[in-house]
Structures are given as structure tokens and as C-alpha cells.
Structure 1
Amino acid sequence: MRASRKLTVALACPEGAWPHPDWPAPDDPYVERVVRLTAPFTAGPDTDVVILCCEDPPAALRELRAADAPVIVISPRRDTGTIVEAFRHGAGYLVEGDYCTRMLSSAVVGAGVGHTSFSPAACAALREGVRRMPADGDAPERLRGLLSPRERQIMELLSTGLGAQEIGLRLRLTEKTVRNNLSNIYAKLDARGSTDAVLRWLGAAPVLRG
């Protein structure tokens, strides 16, 4: 996605109405248009980001046809198994009641440039799930050793679910500087994006979308 182009967002809500009728605002600086999908949920080739609002994320993700468009799940479920399964599909995850529309906008913008966002509760569940996964010997420590102290700070914050803007505020860096650091981190870790990088940082075997 070109950063200068506004986004087309597809909404897939299998069980009911979209919970944020006022999002996005008419003057939203990032979202050009929103398309409501009907079952079976298939996102068009011009879709930049899909928001999947559902009760059963694993089943909905298996049925969704979104080509290469990144997906953000919104669900009331906060169990570790469900969130790890969404992560395996490369999807971001926002737990209902655990985020605001500002966080949703940040997640959409981040997804458009290859970042994967999690609300705080989802991130905590993900970290617990990754902690239980088998680590690849001392490979995680070797990978961490490739990063500078600043890059390690950024990865620690990224793994808690913060986006580039929030990381910049924490570390008193510009968002552009954080994104430049993230690009360097992905190259050093041989990670294809934030999802893969976080898994490697937390010490789990890489989980790639099949």
C-alpha cells in the first residue's frame, strides 16, 4: 500500500451489526471508503484492510477470502487459544471493550503498512500463548544480539501491542524514526513483518501464514 493513498476498508460482521456506526468519521484522514461485505465474505482486489467482527474468529478466518489484504479481528473472546490462532493467520486482534475507535484507526493504518496490532488484553493472551510454544534453542538470544540497544527497546514495546506512534511517544522519538528502526529490525531478524518479528523476539518458532 502506498502511504499517500487513503484506504479502502472492508467490514465483515457475520453475527450482526457493526458496533461503531460513527467510525470512520466523514473527514477521516486515512480511510477513503468502507465496504460492507455479505456472506460468503470475500474482499475485493481493491481492499486494503479487512475488519472481521465476529464471535468465533478461528472459524470466520478460515471462511474469509481476503487475498493478501491484512485482517483485523474484533471479538469478545479473549482466550489464549483463539488469539494465538488469529495470530497464526497473520491477523491483528482487538478484544471488545479493550480498545477505542482511536486505537482501531491506528490498527487500520498500521495494517496498511504491514504492522499487526493487538489490544492490551489480546497482547497479554498472545504473550502467554507464545511463552508456551517451544523455543528454538538459543536462536532467540542470537537474534536479539543482532539488534542495537535502541532496537531492542523498540521490539520490547512492539511486543506489548504498541504501534509506531505510541512507541515514539514512549521513547521520545518521531514516528518516522520508529518506522525506520522497525524496517532495520525486520531485515536483521529476517522477518517479513511485525507478526514474524514479535514471535522471534518472544522466543517462539516463526509462525507464518499458510
Structure 2
Amino acid sequence: MDDSVRVLLVDDQELVRTGLRGILRPRFGFDIVGELDSGERIVETVARLRPHVVIMDVRMPLVDGVTATRLLSAVPGSPPVLVLTTFEDEETLAGALRAGAAGFLLKGVPAEDLQRAVRAVAAGDSWLDRGVTGRVLAAYREGVAPARLGPEIDLLTPREREVLSLIGAGLTNTEIAGRLVLGEGTVKTHVGHIFAKLDVRDRAAAVVFAFDHGLVQPRRDP
């Protein structure tokens, strides 16, 4: 059985797509099943090619990455979106998080980080670069008073709240397991309970909840 990670590339720059093709090669366990230079045909293309992960640029002609992510997220069973960013527009990135993106990745990261990010997102984890997460959420909350803990947070056990704070900090299930000295299966169980209790659909939404409710503080770069 072929266990390659099927990837759809969505970026209007041919040079970027060429670089991604070079890093996500079959011999490394990836299969580039298609490419788009805009998010215009994202829903129909995903339905036809059935990728495991969509790598999405933010700024593109016709239909931008935020809109394309929102359209895709509205389709049940759609694959996770890993957004590529250059930090040019943090407000747009915050919008991508709200639209349902599963992770953010800096263009120009080492090849190993890109490969790890794609595998993590394909496995149902998030990949939120620490620097990206802090700046995106800082932009989102700019000028907004810190949120108070709402009644939903009371549904979580102390351990679940601890796991949620680490999700908000951008840690994967494997990293959380190591930090808390728990089995990875136990962490996955906690994550499932958190999603159900808070009625959030994915890790990105859990990250927003963690920041909005003061469990993680956005970090501002100097």
C-alpha cells in the first residue's frame, strides 16, 4: 500500500512551487498530486485529486489564500491547509487562522522543517511556528481587551487545560507527550475531549481559544 502523503500546491509563483516539488519528492514519502496558481478552483480540485494536505500561499490573484481556505474548510472531510507566509501581512494571516488553517510555515524554512510540517498536518496535528503564532495572534488581538475565562473553560479538567495551553503554544501531540511525560495516545484522548467540550473543529480553532482566553500570551518580536 502506498503510504505517501498526497500534497496539493497552491501558489502563484512558479519558483516557489518548483522549490516545494524538489523538497517534497516521492523518495521522501510525498506525492505532489497537483498544483494551482490561485485558490479559484480549490474545492473542485481537491474533490478530484483527494490530497492529504493543501499547501496554501496567502497572497494570490483571483482568489487569495484566506478565501480559499475558508471555502475548503466549509466542505466536510476537506484536507487540512498548511499556509505559507512571509510575514508581509499579519492581519491576513490571522484571518487564515480564523478560516480554518491547520498550520503556518515560513517560506524559506529548512527542507526538514517543511517535511515535518507536512507530515504533522497530514497526521491531524497542527504546525504553528512559534514566531508565526505569536505575531498572528498579536495582530488579531491588537487593540482588544484581554478576554476573560468564559464558562466553557470550566468544562476542562486541570490536565486538559494544561494540554490546551501547550496546543496554544504550538506544540504537537508528540511534544506535549514529552513535556507532560504522558503517552501520545493519552494526549490524543485529552485533545479529543478538549475539542468536544469546547466545540472547536480543529487545532487551529483550539489555538485561537487558548489565546483568546488568556492561556497563552502572544509574543511580540523586538
TM-score, normalising length from structure 2? 0.72
Flag structure 1 segments of 5+ consecutive residues without an equivalent. Answer: 205-210
Flag structure 2 segments of 5+ consecutive residues without an equivalent. Answer: 214-222
How far apart are residue 112 of structure 1 and its match?
2.9
CA 1:78–1:125: 2 relative to 1, 3 Å: farther
Who is 2:201 aligned against? Answer: 192
Who is 1:44 aligned against? Answer: 46
Q: 1:59 aligns with which of 47, 61, 64?
A: 64
CA 1:130–1:61: 2 relative to 1, 3 Å: closer
Who is 2:115 aligned against? Answer: 105
How far apart are residue 54 of structure 1 and its match?
5.5
How far apart are residue 22 of structure 1 and its match?
4.2
Who is 2:23 aligned against? Answer: 23
Aligned mates of 2:182, 2:115 — CA distance in 1: 21
Q: How many residues align?
A: 197
More displaced 10-residue stretch of structure 1: 152-161 or 108-117: 108-117
RMSD: 3.1
Which segments of structure 1 move beyond 6 Å, counting only runs of 4 or more? none
- State the one-letter code of the partner of 2:24: P
What CA deviation, in whole Å up to 9, does each residue of 1:109-135 have, x standing for no partner?
343344432212211112313434757
Q: Is the 8 A contact 1:13 1:52 kept in 2?
A: yes
Who is 1:7 aligned against? Answer: 5
Aligned mates of 1:131, 1:38 — CA distance in 2: 32
Who is 1:94 aligned against? Answer: 105
Is 1:177–2:179 an aligned residue pair?
no
- State the one-letter code of the partner of 1:158: I
Is 1:34–2:44 an aligned residue pair?
no
CA 1:133–1:105: 2 relative to 1, 3 Å: farther
What CA deviation, in whole Å up to 9, does each residue of 1:55-95 have, x standing for no partner?
55982343577552221111212542121021122112112
Is 1:125–2:130 an aligned residue pair?
no
- State the one-letter code of the partner of 1:103: D
Q: 1:71 aligns with which of 58, 81, 104?
A: 81
Aligned mates of 2:193, 2:95 — CA distance in 1: 27
Aligned mates of 2:162, 2:140 — CA distance in 1: 19
Who is 2:218 aligned against? Answer: none
TM-score, normalising length from structure 1? 0.76
